[in-house]
């Protein structure tokens, strides 16, 4: 079961320090370069041997350019949002096409099919769980997906998806380095996630 730790530092120095900490406990590091003032992708990607996802949620024109640069530099993964989808030239880099809804959990099958239509290596869907049933629907989607999937429900009601998703076939789950380092509502720290897995005898 894979754990990805997001790096949401604003400065390069802080990002590199957090990457060192993440490399000790993470299977994958997510570089949220939209948090960084002046990201140096080459330096970030060369820092540590841990596989990296390059994610850029910024609305600025450099959104696609940064992802294409990451591919050229050999990033293991890039994440592009469905609503801003753009064809990317790539060879070995795996493509994650993602959809986020911070308000609710709508028709998951419809979203899944829209993303699958782009033929990504990994489908990612992150929605806000307003009820426990929303999380059960997400877990059901993970269990029955016909391709690699990351499925997460945000918020307190969605925590179960972060814990159980990988055991049902989810490609990975996200966990933070600790307080103030979370990239989404309801994200557990990596320590709390591992303790929970051990307590529940998951994995």
Output the pTM of the full model.
0.94
The reported pLDDT for the residue numbered 63 is: 80
The reported pLDDT for the residue numbered 58 is: 75
Which position among 47, 52, 99, 124 bears the catalytic label?
Answer: 124
Residue with tokens 């850029």: 56
Write down the H helix ranges in 73-177. Answer: 108-116, 132-144, 159-164
Residue 144 bears catalytic tag: no
Give the pLDDT confidence of 51-71 residue by residue, as tens digits. 999 999 876 667 889 999 999
Q: What is the count of structural domains for the chain?
A: 1
- CATH number of the domain at 170, please: 3.20.20.70
Q: Are 175 and 163 in contact (CB under 8 A)?
A: no
Poorest-confidence range of 53-67, 144-158, 170-184?
53-67
Q: What is the mean pLDDT of residues 81-91?
A: 91
Here the tokens at position 176 are 């933070």
Q: Which domain holds residue 166?
A: 3-200
Residue 128 bears catalytic tag: no
Residues sharing a CB contact under 8 Å with residue 142, sequence separation 6 or more, in sequence order: 149, 151, 161, 165, 168, 169, 170
Q: What is the largest CA-CA distance in the chain?
A: 46
């Amino acid at each position: 079961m894979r754990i990805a730790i997001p790096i949401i530092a604003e400065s390069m120095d802080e990002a590199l320090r957090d990457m060192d900490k993440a490399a000790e406990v993470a299977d994958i590091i997510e570089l949220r370069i939209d948090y960084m003032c002046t990201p140096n992708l080459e330096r970030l990607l060369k820092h540590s041997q841990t596989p990296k996802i390059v994610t850029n949620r910024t609305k600025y024109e450099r959104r696609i350019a940064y992802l294409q640069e990451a591919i050229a530099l050999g990033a293991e993964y890039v994440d592009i949002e469905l609503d801003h989808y753009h064809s990317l030239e790539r060879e070995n880099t795996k493509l994650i096409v993602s959809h986020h809804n911070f308000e609710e959990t709508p028709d998951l099958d419809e979203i899944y099919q829209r993303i699958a239509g782009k033929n990504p290596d990994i489908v990612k869907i992150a929605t806000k769980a307003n009820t426990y049933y929303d999380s059960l629907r997400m877990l059901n989607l993970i269990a029955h997906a016909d391709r690699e999937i990351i499925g997460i429900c945000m918020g307190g009601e969605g925590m179960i998806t972060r814990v159980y998703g990988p055991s049902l076939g989810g490609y990975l789950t996200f966990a933070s380095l600790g307080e103030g380092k979370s990239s989404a509502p309801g994200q557990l720290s990596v320590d709390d996630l591992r303790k929970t897995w051990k307590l529940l005898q998951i994995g």
